[in-house]
Chains A and B, each alone.
Chain A
Amino acid sequence: MSTDTSLPVLTPNDFASDQDVRWCPGCGDYSILAQMKKILPSLGVPREKMVFVSGIGCSSRFPYYMNTYGIHSIHGRAPAVATGLKASRPDLTVWVITGDGDGLSIGGNHLMHAIRRNLDVNVVLFNNRIYGLTKGQYSPTSPLGKVTKSTPMGAIDNPLHPLSIAIGCEGTFVARSIDTNIKHLGMVLKRAAEHRGTSFIEVYQNCNVFNDGAFEYATDRETKADTTIELEHGKPLIFGKNRDKGIRLNGMNPEIVELGKGISEDDLLFHDEQAPEPSLAYLLSRMTYPEFPEPIGVFRAVDRPMYDELLNAQIAEAKKTRGEGDLNKLFRAGDTWVVE
C-alpha cells in the first residue's frame, strides 16, 4: 500500500479535458488517447506536472484532449519546444506527440537531435503512412509506388524506417506498438514513461479515411500472428499462430526457420534490449512485411546520461566552483578606471 497520501488516486477520466475530441470516427488516434489516459494514473505524477507537446497534424491535436499542461506548437518543432521546456524545467514529465510527416519530414532534424541528446522526454510517433490533416498526400513512410493525390503515378521516394532512424540517432529507448493492440500499447507507453532518457515509440495507426488498412496485415486477427513478432527481453524470437516459427541469424542476416526438424529454441535469435551496441536493434528495425514478421515491443532500452541532467549539473558545478553569480564582480572583472 502506498504511504504517499498527498496524491489523490487518479482515474483515466481525470486526464480528459473538456474539449470534444475531433478526430474522424474510427481513427486509430482514439485508441492511443485511451491507452495514454489509462497508463498515466499509474505513473504517480500529478497532472499539473505533465506537459504534452505536439507539432502539426492529426496526431498533434492530442494535447487539447488531455487535462494536463500542453502546447500545440508549429509543424515539426515539438521536439525542440520540449527540449527548451525540459532543459529548464527538469521537474516536469514531458510527452511529445508527433506523426510520420511532422516528425520525420518537416521536423526530422529536431527529432534526430532530441534523440541523440537523450533528453528525458517521451516521443510517441503516430505512423499512418499518409498525410491526413492535409487530406491525403504521401508521407515519408508511405511505400514506394503509393498512389495518392500528390503521387498519381505512385510515390518514387524510398520510405524511411522510423525505428532505424531512432536507433541511428543513438536512441536509448526504441519501441513499436499498434493502435488496436491495446494491452501491448499500454505496456509500451508505460515502459517509455519509466525510461530515463528519450523514449521513442512508433505506433502503427490506421487512418481509416485516407489510408485505410495500411497495417491490416499486422492487425488482422487471421494474419497478425504470422506478420508480427512480439519482442521480449531475453527470450527467443518465436512467432506464428502455432508458435512454430522463429528468427535465426545467418551470419549478419536474419532468416525465418521452422521449429522442430532439428531446430530448437536455442538456435534462435534471443532478444537483448540492453545490448550496449545497437546493431541487433537495428537489424530488427529492418525486418519488414512481407519478407519478415514485423517486431513489436521494446527494441532497445539502455542507460546513457541525459541532456537535461547534464545541463543542470553544469549549472550546479559552476555555482560550486565559482559561487553564485555576482553582478558587481561580473561587471568589474576586467580593467576599470574611476572618473572623479
Chain B
Amino acid sequence: MATSTGVSARESKHASKPVVDLVAATVRFCGDSGDGMQLAGNQFTNTSALAGNDIATFPDFPAEIRAPRGTKAGVSGFQIHFAAKEIFTPGDQVDALVAMNPAALVTNLGDLVRGGILVVNKDAFDDKGLKQAGYEESPLEDRTLSAYQVFPVEITRLTRLAVEELGLGVKEADRCRNFYAMGLVFWLYDRSLEPTLRYIEAKFGKRPEVAEANRRALRAGYNYGETTEAFASQFRVHKAELAPGTYRNIMGNEATAYGLITASIRSKCELFLGSYPITPASDILHELSRHKNFNVRTFQAEDEIAAVTAAIGASFGGAMAVTTSSGPGIALKQEGIGLAVMTELPLLIINVQRGGPSTGLPTKTEQADLLQAVCGRNGECPVPVIAARSPADCFDVVQEAWRIATRYMTPVFVLSDGYIANGSEPWKIPDVKAMPPLEIKHPSPLTNGEEFHPYQRDERLARPWALPGTPGLMHRIGGLEKQDITGNVNYEPANHQHMVDLRARKVANIAQDIPPQVVSGPPRGKLLVLSWGGTYGACATAASEVQAQGGSVAHAHLRYLNPFPANLGEILHRYEKVLIPELNRGQLRLLVRGEFLVDAAGLNKVQGKPFSVFEVVDKINELLR
C-alpha cells in the first residue's frame, strides 16, 4: 500500500450498508489518560466542523498527569456534539461511547443513552483491567450492558496486526490504538479521513514509520466498520445552516489569546502578559508566547503577585497589560488589583474559573469566583466584570474588556471557566478590515511649565494616561489615597469620601456605555431564566425547549456583571418569577437580590460539571407548575 493519502470521503459512496440520517449526534471517546483520547476527540471535532456541522465539545481530563494505568482516576474523556442545526451545548447524553478499558466504561456508562452504541476495546477487559475498574465479572459476559448496542472489538490485537509489517515495538504499535478507534467511529458517522491523514502527515511526517502506522491503524478501524458484519448501518449528520462566511474551529483559551492580540492591534498598544502557570488558564500564556511577531511580550513571573504587579508596571509604561490565572491565583492577585483601582490604570484580569475553594478541582469547571471578582478586595474597590458565554465568545469579550479598561482607566475582570476554556465550537472568522480601531489618547507634553494634574478627569471620570518619557508630565502615583485632581497623597476625611464616591460612580457609569440587556422569549410573563458565563448553552437550549413545548419562559444571558446593564432591573420586574441557574451556591442570585430586591430562585450545582439541558428544563417546568 502506498503512503499517499488514499481513502477519501468518496469511499462512502461505495458503502454497502444503509445510511441513517440524523439531525444531531453526540460521541464520547474515553480511555486511560495515556490513550490519546483528547487527540481522538479533537480530530473528530475538526473533521465534523470541516464537514459543516455545528459542534460543541467537552473535554474532561483527570487532575493527575498520569494516574496509574487502567485506574478510574486516570480516565480521560472527550465529548463531541455535532449537528445539522445550531447547538449550544456538548450534549446531555451520548449516543455513541468508545471505551478503551473497563475503568473508562464504568465511569462513563451512566451518560450513554439507552439503546446507544457502545464500542469497547475487548482486549483491555482482562482480569487486571476488570479488577481496577471494580468489576467482579466482565460486563461483556453478563447482562450489565443489555440496554445498549455493544460492539466488543479487539482493538489492541487488530491495531497490532495492522501495523505488523512496520516492525514497531509493542508499545509503539499500541500507541496507534486511538487511531484505530477513530477510524471505526469515522466510518460509523460517515466522516472523511482526509483531515486526520493531513494531521498525521503534519505531526509525524518526520518519523515516517510512526506516520504510516497511524495511517494504517486509522484505515484498519475504518475498514473494520465497513467490512465486518457487526455494524448494520452508518449514520450521517448533514451540514448545519450557519451564517455565510469562513469558519474554523476554536477553543476558548485560543479565542481569548486571539482576542487579546486583536485588541492590541486595534488599539495600537503593545500587549504585555504577566502570568504564572495554572490550570486551566496556562494555554493562554502558551498561545500568546507563540506570537511575539505581534509585539506580544509574555512574562512568566515568579508568582501570581509578580504576574499582576508586572502587568501594572507595564500599564504605567503604556502597554496593553493583561494577567491571566484561575481562582487561587486570582486570590493572590487581589491586592495588586486594588493598586490598579487606586492608580486608575487599565489592566485586564482574566480568570479561567475552576472548582474551588483552595486548590479545589483544578481540571473541573465552576462559576464560583463571581463574588471574588466583584467584591474580593479590601476597601471600596469597584472593578468592572464581564463574562464570556462560549469558547468563541471569549474573542469578543476580551476586546470589549479592553475598550472599557482604556475608556475608563480601570482594571477589568474577564470571567471564563474551564468548560469554555477547553471546549470548542465553530468560529466565523471576522473581517479584519472591518474592525474599527480602539482609540486611546495619551496627554501631550507640557513644555511651558504648566502644572500637570494626573487625577483631572474627563467627562467619563477617567483620568489621563500620561506615559513616562513625556516631557512635563512627570507625576507619582501609588496605593495611598489621592487628592482629587493633583493626585498628591491626601488623608483628609472629605477627600477620601469624595474619591471613594468618584471611583464608584466611574464604574457605575459604564452601564450607560454598554448595550441594553436583551431577552429571548416573551417580554413579560411567568418566568425569566437569568444566566451568566459558561451556562449560556444549557440555559438557552433549555428555555427554547420549554418554549417549543408551549411553556411561558424567557431567557436573558448577562455578559456584564458589574455594572449590570441599565435596563436589567426593569426587565426582572416584568416576570412573576426569576430563576438563576449557576455552577455555584447562588452568587449572581445574591447580587441580583441585593441590587434589585427580586426574590430570585436558584438552580445550583457544584459537581465540577456543566449543567445538562434536562436539569434546567426540569427546574423551569417545576417553577411553571
A88 to B296, CA, bound (A): 10
What B residues does A336 contact at CB under 8 A? 246-248, 429
Q: How far is the CB of A33 from chain B (nearest CB, A)?
A: 14
Which of B313, B432, B471, B477 has its CB near the most chain A CB atoms (within 10 A)?
A: B313
Q: Which of A123-131, A139-147, A286-294, A311-319 contacts B (4 or more CB under 8 A)?
A: A311-319
Asked whether, in the complex, the Cβ of B468 is within 8 Å of the Cβ of A92, the reply is yes
Complex interface residues of chain B between 318 and 348 (CB less than 8 A to chain A) = 318-319, 321, 335-336, 338-339, 343
Complex interface residues of chain B between 272 and 298 (CB less than 8 A to chain A) = 272, 274, 291-297
B180 at the interface (CB under 8 A from A): no
A340 to B245, CA, bound (A): 7
A321 to B198, CA, bound (A): 25
Asked whether, in the complex, the Cβ of A331 is within 8 Å of the Cβ of B309, the reply is no
What A residues does B479 contact at CB under 8 A? 56, 72-74
What 1/0 mask marks residues of chain A from 193 to 222 whose CB sits below 8 Å from any chain B CB? 000000000000000000000000000000
A66 to B468, CA, bound (A): 14
What A residues does B49 contact at CB under 8 A? 335, 337
Count of B residues near A, CB < 8 Å? Answer: 70
Asked whether, in the complex, the Cβ of A327 is within 8 Å of the Cβ of B309, the reply is no
Chain B residue at smallest Cβ distance from A321: B293
What 1/0 mask marks residues of chain A from 88 to 122 whose CB sits below 8 Å from any chain B CB? 11011000000000000000011011000000000
B510 at the interface (CB under 8 A from A): no
What 1/0 mask marks residues of chain A from 34 to 56 whose CB sits below 8 Å from any chain B CB? 00000000000011110111101
Out of B50, B295, B432, B469, name the residue touching A337 (CB < 8 Å).
B50
Count of A residues near B, CB < 8 Å? Answer: 63
A64 at the interface (CB under 8 A from B): yes
Q: Taking A77-B309, A82-B313, A84-B310 as contacts, is the C-beta distance between A48 and B472 under 8 angstroms?
A: yes
What B residues does A23 contact at CB under 8 A? none
What A residues does B336 contact at CB under 8 A? 74, 77
What A residues does B124 contact at CB under 8 A? none
What B residues does A69 contact at CB under 8 A? 316, 468, 474-476
A17 to B487, CA, bound (A): 13
**Count of CB-CB pairs between chains A and B under 8 Å:** 214
30 inter-chain pairs at a CB distance below 8 angstroms, sorted by A residue, are: A51-B468, A54-B478, A56-B479, A63-B478, A69-B316, A69-B475, A70-B477, A71-B476, A71-B478, A72-B480, A74-B335, A74-B479, A80-B306, A80-B309, A81-B310, A84-B309, A84-B321, A85-B313, A89-B314, A89-B469, A92-B468, A110-B302, A112-B302, A315-B293, A324-B294, A325-B294, A334-B249, A335-B248, A338-B247, A339-B245
Which of B294, B319, B339 has its CB near the most chain A CB atoms (within 10 A)?
A: B294
Asked whether, in the complex, the Cβ of A92 is within 8 Å of the Cβ of B469, the reply is yes
What A residues does B398 contact at CB under 8 A? none
Q: Taking A63-B478, A71-B478 as contacts, is the C-beta distance between A325 and B261 under 8 angstroms?
A: yes
Q: How far is the CB of B222 from chain A (nearest CB, A)?
A: 19
Complex interface residues of chain B between 456 and 504 (CB less than 8 A to chain A) = 468-480, 488-489
What B residues does A74 contact at CB under 8 A? 309, 335-336, 338-339, 479
A68 at the interface (CB under 8 A from B): yes
Out of B272, B295, B472, name the residue touching A84 (CB < 8 Å).
B272
Out of A68, A70, A339, name the residue touching B244 (CB < 8 Å).
A339
A81 to B432, CA, bound (A): 34
A261 at the interface (CB under 8 A from B): no
A193 to B549, CA, bound (A): 75
What A residues does B56 contact at CB under 8 A? none
Q: Taking A63-B478, A327-B261, A331-B248 as contacts, is the C-beta distance between A113 and B306 under 8 angstroms?
A: yes
Q: Taking A331-B258, A337-B52 as contacts, is the C-beta distance between A318 and B293 under 8 angstroms?
A: yes
Q: How far is the CB of B238 from chain A (nearest CB, A)?
A: 13
Asked whether, in the complex, the Cβ of B247 is within 8 Å of the Cβ of A88, the reply is no
Asked whether, in the complex, the Cβ of A87 is within 8 Å of the Cβ of B293, the reply is no
Asked whether, in the complex, the Cβ of A64 is within 8 Å of the Cβ of B306, the reply is no
B148 at the interface (CB under 8 A from A): no
Chain B residue at smallest Cβ distance from A340: B244
What A residues does B321 contact at CB under 8 A? 84
Q: Taking A64-B476, A109-B302 as contacts, is the C-beta distance between A335 and B249 under 8 angstroms?
A: yes
Asked whether, in the complex, the Cβ of B313 is within 8 Å of the Cβ of A81, the reply is yes
B195 at the interface (CB under 8 A from A): yes
Chain B residue at smallest Cβ distance from A19: B488
What A residues does B242 contact at CB under 8 A? 339
Asked whether, in the complex, the Cβ of A84 is within 8 Å of the Cβ of B468, the reply is no
What A residues does B198 contact at CB under 8 A? 335
Complex interface residues of chain A between 197 and 255 (CB less than 8 A to chain B) = none
What A residues does B305 contact at CB under 8 A? 77, 80, 110
A51 to B311, CA, bound (A): 16
B243 at the interface (CB under 8 A from A): yes
What B residues does A82 contact at CB under 8 A? 313
Asked whether, in the complex, the Cβ of B312 is within 8 Å of the Cβ of A81, the reply is yes
Chain A residue at smallest Cβ distance from B479: A74
Out of B247, B319, B343, B474, name the residue touching A71 (CB < 8 Å).
B343
Q: How far is the CB of B348 from chain A (nearest CB, A)?
A: 14
A328 at the interface (CB under 8 A from B): yes
Which of B49, B52, B246, B476 has its CB near the most chain A CB atoms (within 10 A)?
A: B476
Q: Taking A335-B195, A337-B246 as contacts, is the C-beta distance between A88 and B297 under 8 angstroms?
A: yes
Chain A residue at smallest Cβ distance from B430: A331
What A residues does B319 contact at CB under 8 A? 84, 88-89
What B residues does A56 contact at CB under 8 A? 479
B568 at the interface (CB under 8 A from A): no
Chain B residue at smallest Cβ distance from A60: B478
B140 at the interface (CB under 8 A from A): no
What A residues does B474 contact at CB under 8 A? 47-48, 67-69
B317 at the interface (CB under 8 A from A): yes
Q: How far is the CB of B497 from chain A (nearest CB, A)?
A: 22
Q: How far is the CB of B476 from chain A (nearest CB, A)?
A: 4
